[in-house]
Chain A
Amino acid sequence: MKAGIVRFPGSNCDEDAFNAVAETLGQEAVYCWHKDHDLQGADLVILPGGFSYGDYLRPGAIARFSPIMQEVVAFARRGGPVLAICNGFQIACEAGLLPGALLRNSNLRFISAPVQLRVESIATPFTSRYHIGEVITVPIAHGDGRFTADPDVLARIEGAGQVVFRYVNASGDAALSANPNGSLRNIAGIVSAGGNVLGMMPHPERALDPLLGSIGGVALFTSLLDALMTRAGS
């Protein structure tokens, strides 16, 4: 498997994503420069976290016009898996790869903290190794993570099982007090209608080593590897 990690000006979780693929999965990772049109034959694209273009105008709004994004969109339309983390999620929404939008956190501040997530769907290439209802710990670090969508869009993605992660408390309840940023229905991550694009505000690439506090992200990367190996084998 080969992962292409897109590098925008202002990306700052690109190295962490690279290490997740290279060290945790032991697979090949390459950087894809924003000015290029070349995904270098990657079979997984990661849109990493950071502040692409300084978050000017609004997060993700400028990055979606990058030359490389034309290729990412085409790749996703062909069914290629795209993992969009934090700023990557914002970019994916702006690029129309995912429904909804991400607004300023409800407390108007940047929030950096470990949070608990409940796995809502395992029928995706990103989550097959989790159990339904499993509660995992993954850090968040963002200022604009409040997921929102029109009522009909929200009903559609809920109905189609596109909500993959929800913020919950230690007992697994999607309580108001467990919602760090005011996201609608505690939504932390969603997949596209085709299931091949995952956008999430929490950082699974920061939850891969017990030394750093949690390993809640490991199954996400191993699920992806499973899916890609299966695809390659079929």
Chain B
Amino acid sequence: MRVVLPRAGDPAITPALVAEHGITELEYERLVNMLGRTPTFTELGVVSALWSEHCSYKHSRPLLKTLPTTAPWVLQGPGENAGVISVGDGLAVAFKIESHNHPSAVEPYQGAATGVGGILRDVFTMGARPIALLNSLRFGPLSSSRVRWLFAGVVRGIGDYGNCIGVPTVGGEVVFDPSYEGNPLVNAMCVGLMREDELIRAVASGVGNPIMAVGARTGRDGIHGASFASEDLSTESEAKRPMVQVGDPFTEKLLLEASLELIRSGSIVAIQDMGAAGLTSSSAEMAERGDVGVTIDVTKVPVRETGMTPYEILLSESQERMLVVAKLGHEDEVRAILGKWDLEAAVIGEVIAEPVYRVTEGDVVVAEFPGSRLVTECPQYTIDGKESAALKAARAKDASMVPALPEERDHSWTLERLLSSPTIASKAWVWRQYDSTVRTSTVRGPGSDAAVVRLRGTDKALALCIDGNGRHVALSPRNGGRAAVCEAARNVACTGARPLAITNNLNFGNPKKPEVYFQLSEAIAGLGEACRVLETPVTGGNVSLYNENPQGAIHPTPTIGMVGLIESLSHVTPSAFQHVGDTIVLLGEPTAELGASEYLLAIHGLTIGAPPACDPTIERKLIDGLLEAIRAGVVCSAHDCSDGGLAVTLAESAIVERDAMHGFSVDLSHWAMLPHRALLFGEAHGRVVVSTANATAVLSIAQRHGVPARIIGTVTAPQEGVRFTISDDAFAAPVEWLARAFHDAIGVTMDGETPAEHAVVAAHVPSND
């Protein structure tokens, strides 16, 4: 390679400096071999970003390659800014999930806000207009004041960004568990809509075409954000707060409109978000995909402060910027479109035939790499995984032997406690801060099993959800991986949608540890198994590793973003009971499994036992049967069993709509031989509670699909309360008492008071009647 002389003023390359950049000795050796010389400081910075875990997927790529990624409806699989699927009528849906865990751990507001900004850009750079946002959040227990600060900041950050840009936040999940105390998880998903012919890919092409920087100017914020996200959190992490980028949703809104206009104008060949590792990764990745060379002059990059070095300009993660490859001769059209939206566009380089990645400062070359090797040369690691002895021992513990508390003699006490557990309780406190109705297409917003967003101009709708259960994965990674996909698919199906495809966010600890690598490889294997059986390929996603702090790693948490299609708006099905007198049918079978349940955590503070077994083949039958029943018009409501088990599922169907609550009376005596705690609160998979006016039809459809189904009771008026009978073990509770537990728990914790409009209800004395 060309000799590139060190730039005046740059530090000398020393082993300490190399280590500071997170580059191992082996990696440094590969770098020197690739260049045939010592790298410059700028080159070291470029490589530290591109070879960071965040950008290179060096510990996960071999595993990710095992996932299924194709189906006839997949238009774009992994490797692009976002995956794209066809939904018929010439329409396509782009969607992707991304994490902003590390920044949110030290600066929750900006960390979460810029997470939303980044995922929006990933979707609109495919040519799609964002139509929905979802998020998946994990925090430690709300009893900690720091957790409450993180939680409130993250929610405000997500809200302020999405609200301002005018994309509705339609769904998501929030889970509280001690394992996330030091490492909150913030995963954001965006879904966009376009015509199939509007799809554009981030592939640089056309020698001589100009490369343009578009949008906000480049500043010194976020430098090394990608590397920061690729190491464990520590006591020094607080000092890295300046590495967290600062977002401006107003600029993003302008950039969104300008980018879509730019794509539709035909003046450009490629566009990519300057996200993690900024200009460096966007330009290197576009060149690598197009198998061309690029040259970039950093002095032409619009900057917002003086004296920025090439190193800083290349690694800045300033937000709301795009890299565009324009068609030669169309530069003025690009400038005009950006100008209309009061944004800048500047030519900063060009596509070249020579297979090199070259950065200059004026006429002086400050970095030069042999083309695509810069991206492909990054080493990939496979570790010998080994299950943690502690987790193995925890799984081996028999959950049924956990002694019941004296209060548990009254199951209604347990039910009320579970409904007020922040993981299960209503998240209205959260989503009242998110605009969920802008764009006037939200048929079902937050609080449903899955969100439903109509596709204007058709009779169709999308069903969207995010799901994951780290506790289940921790105690049995492969089964947990399967379960994460199956639960997401169940949720989507409950609204009347056929699951189509997923995007996933793999949140794990330090992969260099055999115990973490074991979790990662097993969970991915489980995801793949379920995706193959359910025919929901993976179209992209994100990997977030090093979610560790001195107290340990988080629960391994794959979160699944699922997109499903509702063929007709008449199929949209709610999770709440609809009419007094409807029959309640349980699809699927209760089991004796109680391990890894929210019950054990919320009531006993335990994370033990074998999680319920998840069999995707059974789930597939359940989903097929449920969808046939919904399409036959015989299902009034459908709600899947997950956290808190059957009792919580039934209670939620009764109380979730606070202005239209119901009671119910169920008889579970058929399963009286099961331990009653497991029957009521165990989290066995493959179950959905439906209410129907035509139980005969539901039972016969279920039978045809080989799905166990049984009538368990009737929907009643709210004043009848909720009533359970398990042979001689019967209990009841007033609806309003349970509703207050469910609806007010988080608000009371966060604001220290009962919301005024609901401060009623006489005291309830639980009873065994």
Q: Knowing that A15-B439, A141-B163 touch, tell me 7 more A-B residue pairs with CB under 8 angstroms.
A: A12-B165, A16-B438, A51-B164, A51-B250, A53-B250, A139-B437, A206-B440
| Given known A54-B164, A109-B156, contact A13–B438 (CB-CB < 8 A) | yes
**Selected interface stretch from B372-380, B428-436, B464-472:** B428-436
Q: How far is the CA of A203 from the CA of B440 in the complex (A)?
A: 10
Cβ of B435: which chain A residues have Cβ within 8 Å of it?
110, 112, 141
List of 4 A-B pairs having minimum Cβ-Cβ separation, nearest first: A12-B166, A54-B250, A141-B435, A177-B757
Q: How far is the CA of A12 from the CA of B163 in the complex (A)?
A: 9
Cβ of B434: which chain A residues have Cβ within 8 Å of it?
110, 112
A/B pair count, beta carbons within 8 Å? 88
Contact pattern, B 35-79, Cβ under 8 Å of A = 1, otherwise 0:
000000000000000000000000000000000000000000000
**Residue A79 CB within 8 A of the other chain:** no
Cβ of A212: which chain B residues have Cβ within 8 Å of it?
437, 440-443
Cβ of A211: which chain B residues have Cβ within 8 Å of it?
443, 454, 569
In chain B, positions 554-609 with a C-beta closer than 8 Å to chain A are: 569
A-B contact pairs, 13 of them (CB 8 A): A9-B254, A10-B250, A12-B164, A12-B253, A16-B439, A51-B163, A51-B166, A56-B250, A112-B163, A112-B436, A141-B437, A176-B756, A212-B441
Count B interface residues, CB 8 Å.
34
Contact pattern, B 159-173, Cβ under 8 Å of A = 1, otherwise 0:
110011110000000
Q: Are B432 and A111 in contact (CB under 8 A)?
A: yes
Q: Are B163 and A111 in contact (CB under 8 A)?
A: no
A interface vs B, CB < 8 Å? 9-10, 12-13, 15-16, 19, 49-51, 53-56, 109-113, 139, 141, 143, 169-170, 176-178, 203, 205-206, 208-209, 211-212
Cβ of B436: which chain A residues have Cβ within 8 Å of it?
112, 141
B interface vs A, CB < 8 Å? 156, 159-160, 163-166, 248-251, 253-254, 341-342, 431-443, 454, 456, 569, 659, 756-757
Q: How far is the CA of A9 from the CA of B569 in the complex (A)?
A: 34
Tell me the smallest distance from the CB of B406 to a CB of chain A, in Å: 38
Cβ of A49: which chain B residues have Cβ within 8 Å of it?
438
Q: How far is the CA of A112 from the CA of B446 in the complex (A)?
A: 11
When C-beta atoms are compared, the residue in chain A nearest to B248 turns out to be: A54
Contact of B757 among A53, A112, A178, A209 (CB under 8 A): A178
Tell me the smallest distance from the CB of A98 to a CB of chain B, in Å: 23
Q: Are B433 and A112 in contact (CB under 8 A)?
A: yes
| Given known A12-B438, A16-B440, A109-B433, contact A51–B756 (CB-CB < 8 A) | no
Tell me the smallest distance from the CB of A182 to a CB of chain B, in Å: 12
Q: How far is the CA of A208 from the CA of B456 in the complex (A)?
A: 14
Tell me the smallest distance from the CB of B233 to a CB of chain A, in Å: 28
Q: How far is the CA of A143 from the CA of B160 in the complex (A)?
A: 9
Cβ of A19: which chain B residues have Cβ within 8 Å of it?
440, 456
Cβ of B248: which chain A residues have Cβ within 8 Å of it?
54
Residue of B160, B253, B434, B456 with most partner-chain A CB within 10 A: B253
| Given known A9-B342, A10-B250, A212-B440, contact A55–B164 (CB-CB < 8 A) | yes
Q: Are B443 and A110 in contact (CB under 8 A)?
A: no
Cβ of B156: which chain A residues have Cβ within 8 Å of it?
109-110
Cβ of B454: which chain A residues have Cβ within 8 Å of it?
211
Residue of B249, B342, B443, B757 with most partner-chain A CB within 10 A: B757
Cβ of A139: which chain B residues have Cβ within 8 Å of it?
437
Q: Are B431 and A112 in contact (CB under 8 A)?
A: yes
Q: Are A111 and B433 in contact (CB under 8 A)?
A: yes
Contact of A110 among B433, B439, B569, B756 (CB under 8 A): B433
When C-beta atoms are compared, the residue in chain A nearest to B435 turns out to be: A141
Q: How far is the CA of A41 from the CA of B342 in the complex (A)?
A: 26
When C-beta atoms are compared, the residue in chain B nearest to A9 turns out to be: B254
Q: Are B437 and A112 in contact (CB under 8 A)?
A: yes
Q: How far is the CA of A139 from the CA of B431 in the complex (A)?
A: 14
